[in-house]
A = this chain, B = another copy of it.
Amino acid sequence: VSREGIFVNRSLALEKIKCFGFDMDYTLAMYKSPDYEELAFALLLEHLVAIGYPPEILYDPTFPTRGLVFDALYGNLLKVDSHGNLLVCAHGFRFLKGAEILHYYPNKFIQRDDMKRFHILNTLFNLTEAHLYACLVDFFTNCSRYVNCDTGYKHGNLFMSFRSMFQDVREAMDHVHLSGCLKEKTLENLEKYVVKDPRVPLLLSRMKEVGKVFLATNSDYTYTDAIMSYLFDFSNEDKADVPRRPWRSYFDLIVVDTRKPLFFAEGTVLRQVDTDTGKLRIGTYTGPLQHCAVYSGGSSDVVCDLLGVKGKDILYMGDHIFGDILKSKKRQGWRTFLVVPELARELQVWTEKSGEQCWAGDADFTMHLDSGSSERPDISSIKRRIQKVTHEMDMCYGKMGSLFRCGSRQTLFANQLMRYADLYAASFINFLYYPFSYLFRAPPVLMAHESTVEHSHRDSGDAGTALPPWLAQHGDPHQQVGGRSAGAEGHGHPAMLTPLGSCAH
């Protein structure tokens, strides 16, 4: 069930949405994992080998997780929370332990705004990149020809810094995307690389009945046309007599070459695409919206103008937390839907492993102490147990753990998802299971002080129970319903001791 669910960070009444916007790559067009990643990895490696890297590196699909940070100074892959506190730290495929981590990061903290050093790998395209860093670091670290240094490797007169390795990989990435070789290979074998799902045209035709639908992709028209034709081509298979409906007819507006995130700021010139030749027409289109016309460039403002809608009327669906979601929300006030393919697997693990229970801590015990007390209960054994359970849980998700958390602590990715995506799901196709009158309702987020209040009208109810008040609070089934209650045990009765758990250090 959950796999078909859509999850809510901020309430959204679907009937108020006048316009559905889509990114293409990894949103409408879901690439098949790990085939597509393997293809990208192979092309990247080919380019790197061409500039002198060792060809021995192999693709191992189990390692990477999205949302990691690459430290170009020390070559580590870091999992961090939204404040820059380190959660996990890996050097190649080896995980660093406490003392090692303190050697590189004395405060277990990174200043994320040092953009020349720390690089966030948030997109699905970054997955392969993250993996490559791990593979390269692993290879050189274990290769006897190279001497390991803090900031790179030495080999005779050569010094290969992690920074130069980073630059090489980034340039290889650019090459693979700009040269078109990845797109070419993908188009050569669409069945292998792209998921085809008859529900896509079904859902889009329903959406077009209740509102406007647009596509805004950074890809060029030729690639877009090939991918979309493949995705929407079902007529021949099922009913030979039904005329094939062209993919462009599912959209009110199609914009390619959007150059998001620039698209959400000043944008570029809007051109019309000649759909016969795939070439751009010179000049900016200024007329009214034309049926089935395709445009290149433009900006989010232009989209609103052409479609006659305001930012809040639009629900935009994309997979890129920064380029699609954060920017459309922050700059334009659009409603946002983040596609997170990993959710399917994450939900499975969470459900099987009983999620929260694995790290939710242990029994609290109460002592009547205040700041004048000197007793210090020993909690080390409990702590060790929690750490063990947390680690076991993490390993179920993969070597780097969950995309969203490390034990009880959330990742930067999870934090950004919660801040900027109004809705999220493993796929946009899940909308198929909701009526267009649906109200996606986020339970009110309770602040710590709000969730711990004893409401006067309940006081009488609890009286007489043998429970201490802080337990009684939780006994009330009305209390926490739908509320994110922070700090329930966080303070409770102020003179209550909860000496353990998943402390933030």
Contact = CB atoms under 8 A, between A and B. Distances in A.
Interface residues of A, number: 168
Contacts of A410: 445, 447
Contact of A355 (B7, B15, B450, B482): B450
Contacts of A359: 444
Given A283-B155, A447-B418, A487-B442, A363 B6 contact: no
A279 B476 contact: no
B433 A370 contact: yes
B157 A286 contact: yes
Contacts of A362: 468, 470
Contacts of A107: 310-312, 332-333
A63 interface: no
Contacts of A312: 107-109, 505
A330 B82 CA distance: 10
A493 to B, nearest CB: 6
A311 B351 contact: no
B363 A159 contact: no
A408 B444 contact: yes
A103 interface: no
Contact of A439 (B10, B274, B499): B499
B279 A52 contact: yes
Nearest to A370: B433
Given A1-B494, A52-B274, A160-B282, A360 B203 contact: no
A412 B96 CA distance: 37
A235 interface: no
B167 A484 contact: no
B311 A8 contact: no
A504 interface: yes
A419 interface: yes
Given A167-B268, A449-B2, A489 B443 contact: yes
25 contacts: A8-B486, A13-B505, A85-B333, A154-B286, A158-B282, A164-B271, A164-B284, A351-B454, A352-B456, A355-B450, A362-B470, A369-B438, A370-B433, A370-B434, A371-B435, A373-B436, A376-B437, A414-B447, A439-B498, A440-B490, A441-B489, A442-B490, A443-B488, A446-B484, A482-B489
Return the 7 tightest CB-CB contacts between A and B, nearest first: A484-B484, A157-B287, A8-B490, A160-B283, A109-B333, A7-B448, A369-B435
